[in-house]
Amino acid sequence: MAAAIGDVAPAALPRASAANRVIMQLGASIGSAVILIVLQDRLNRLPDPLKPDPAGLADAYATTFWWILAFAVTAIFIALAMPGREPGRHHTQKPATAAKRETTT
């Protein structure tokens, strides 16, 4: 999480941190819902959903695993496609209160 807001100006850190947390919560909730829907759909397709056989359960969970793997690979590709920070480039802006103290001393 620190890497996501590392280049944010100090004055914008509270909003950036909150926005990052909200996005993470929404992503986790939506991802979990999709995975649970996939699993439930696979379980409903069993010949007798009330008394599933081990092979049918294994197939349902295997299909769900492949969906999770697809989400993970997609997330990795998106992360790799994001622009990186240039070497040696860091946020050097001082907070307004620190700048004000330096001018008064």
Q: Which domain holds residue 34?
A: 19-82
The token pair at 29 is: 């909730």
Residue 92: inside a domain? no
Query: Could you tell me if residue 34 is inside a domain?
Result: yes
- Domain membership of residue 67 (yes or no) is yes
pLDDT at 27 over 80: yes
* Count of C-beta atoms within a 10 Å radius of residue 67: 16
Rounded Cα–Cα distance for residues 56 and 41 (Å): 12
Q: What is the pLDDT averaged over residues 14-39?
A: 93
Q: Are 25 and 1 in contact (CB under 8 A)?
A: no
Distance CA 19, CA 24 (A): 9
Assigned domain for 14 exists: no
Q: How confident is the model at residue 83 (pLDDT cuts 50, 70, 90)?
A: confident
pLDDT at 70 over 70: yes
Residue 91 has a pLDDT of 56
Q: Give the chain's domain count.
A: 1
- In this prediction, residue 17 carries a pLDDT of 87
Measuring CA to CA, how many Å separate 68 from each of 6, 30, 55, 74, 88?
29, 13, 20, 10, 36
Q: Is residue 68 part of a domain?
A: yes
Instruction: Give the per-residue pLDDT at 20.
Output: 87
Q: Does 95 reside within a domain?
A: no
